[in-house]
C-alpha cells in the first residue's frame, strides 16, 4: 500500500472495467539519466527458477 510505480496507461476498457498498464511505455520517452537513476534506486535482484519455486513451496515445520 502506498507504493508508486512508473507505469503508463496503454488501454482503458470501460466495458470490462480493465486498465492495461505498461512500464516499457512509461520509460520510452525518458532520457538515459532518468532511466539510470530509477534503476539505481530500485535494484532488480536476479533469481533463478529454483529460487523462485523454493519460495512458493511450503517449508517443513521443525520438530
- pLDDT tens for 11-37 read 999 999 999 999 889 989 899 999 899
Which of 26, 29, 27, 28 shows the shortest CA–CA distance to 8?
26
Q: What is the pLDDT of residue 8?
A: 94
Question: Is the pLDDT at 63 greater than 90, yes or no?
Answer: no
Distance CA 39, CA 58 (A): 32
Local structure of 43: helix, strand or coil: coil
Long-range Cβ contacts of 47-52 (<8 Å, 24+ apart):
none
Q: What is the pLDDT of residue 22?
A: 93
Distance CA 32, CA 7 (A): 17
- Average pLDDT of the chain? 83
Q: What is the pLDDT of residue 58?
A: 65
Q: What is the pLDDT of residue 57?
A: 64
Q: Could you tell me if 23 and 35 are in contact, meaning their C-beta atoms sit under 8 angstroms apart?
A: no
Amino acid at each position: 500500500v502506498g507504493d508508486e510505480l512508473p507505469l503508463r496507461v496503454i488501454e482503458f476498457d470501460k466495458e470490462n472495467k480493465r486498465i492495461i498498464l505498461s512500464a516499457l511505455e512509461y520509460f520510452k520517452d525518458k532520457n538515459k539519466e532518468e532511466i539510470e537513476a530509477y534503476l539505481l534506486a530500485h535494484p532488480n535482484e536476479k533469481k533463478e527458477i529454483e529460487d523462485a519455486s523454493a519460495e512458493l513451496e511450503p517449508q517443513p515445520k521443525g520438530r
